[in-house]
Amino acid sequence: MCEAELPEPIPGDDEILVRVSACGVCRTDLHIVDGELPNPKKDLVPGHQIVGRVEAFGKNVKGVTIGERIGVPWLGYACGKCFFCLNDRENLCDHARFTGYHIDGGFAEYAVAHHRFCFKLPDIFPDEQAAPLLCAGFIGYRALRMTGNASKIGFYGFGASAHILIQLACFQKKKVYVFTRPGDVKTQQFARELGAVWAGGSEQQPPELLEAAIIFAPVGSLVPAALRAVIKGGQVICAGIHMSDIPSFPYHLLWEERSIRSVANLTRKDGEEFLALAQKMPVKTVVQTYPLGKINEALADLRQGRLTGAAVIKIICPSGAPASGDPAKSIT
């Protein structure tokens, strides 16, 4: 990724101009930068866990005020008219557009967002702690809901999403078993500190069979591993947007009504429900912050598994709002 000076964006009739204060770094950003997701916007500004203040808005925008703090998530637009939108599955919208993928995102001092896809954030969360909630939290929450009433759940991978989700699972009195890269003692200890009843390497079997498993790591070989670890009728949920190829495995691992499901994006309802729960608990996000000019360092740390919790880019805007059309710094 390279640094560039871009004009300050101008909001459309249905859009909000956001002065960004923080933006979380997600593995999806890494997949986009590494070319693993097809057809991103040309000259893209990534970043889809945006926290900032309303700087301006278009003529059709109601119910927001200048200076108000809002959050902008991955789902940047859904049409509201297709089969999926009309059946409460806007996450699968045929015409969906995504922040930091089809729409310029938050690795910049300013961003624009459709007003219907922004969230008012609870005051309890500072900017840096709020940012990971907007994807790691939202999509993790959707994945956890897919496990239904499971009381013993395995987490394969323990990064930004899992470290938030384990808090919710423990709040709901579920037992969580965490699988990390083999030998990653530091992350295993971190998981135990947050409530895991067991933590070990992904090559290990848990001390008892699980009722469900959520795979956060983008590693296809974890799918048959998780199937081996769940009971009859158990579920394996793939929570990422990209995963390496799943190797072939014997049918008996799937038999006895085990199932594999994927999580695709999020709905605004997911976000509203999760933020209400996160405030009630409250969730505590562990973050490592980087200045905007160090985004490549943050991505490298994420790629190499050097992070504990979530990475967040802290945007330091120049004092005073620049005039419309003045250049604003972005990472593209």
Q: Render pLDDT for 307-332 as a digit per residue (tens, 0 to 9).
A: 999 999 999 765 444 333 445 566 66
How many other C-beta atoms can be found within 10 angstroms of the C-beta atom of residue 165?
Answer: 27
* Angle, helix 136-146 to helix 160-171, in steps of 10 degrees: 50
Amino acid at 32: I
* Angle, helix 160-171 to helix 268-280, in steps of 10 degrees: 60
What is the structure's pLDDT at 87? 97
pLDDT digits (tens, 9 = 90+) for 27-53: 999 999 999 999 999 999 999 999 999
What is the structure's pLDDT at 320? 42
Q: Determine the topology of domain 138-262 in CATH.
A: Rossmann fold (3.40.50)
* Angle, helix 160-171 to helix 185-193, in steps of 10 degrees: 30
Ranges under pLDDT 70 in the chain: 317-332
Query: Residue 99 has what DSSP assignment?
Result: B
Give the helix ranges, DSSP H, for the chain. 27-33, 127-130, 136-146, 160-171, 185-193, 222-229, 268-280, 295-303
Q: Determine the topology of domain 3-135+285-331 in CATH.
A: Quinone Oxidoreductase; Chain A, domain 1 (3.90.180)
* Residues belonging to the chain: 332
Cα–Cα dist 311/159, whole Å: 10
What are the residue ranges spanned by the domains of the chain?
3-135+285-331, 138-262
Residue from 9, 14, 22, 8 nearest 52 by CA: 22
State how beta strands 75-77 and 69-72 pair: unpaired
Are 268 and 118 spatial neighbours (Cβ–Cβ below 8 Å)? no
State how beta strands 198-201 and 210-215 pair: unpaired
What is the structure's pLDDT at 321? 43
Contacts of 193 (CB under 8 A, 6+ apart): none
At residue 274, what are phi and psi to the nearest 5 degrees?
-65, -45
Q: What angle do CA 283, 290, 122 make, to 5 degrees?
A: 30
Are 310 and 287 spatial neighbours (Cβ–Cβ below 8 Å)? yes
Are 194 and 315 spatial neighbours (Cβ–Cβ below 8 Å)? no
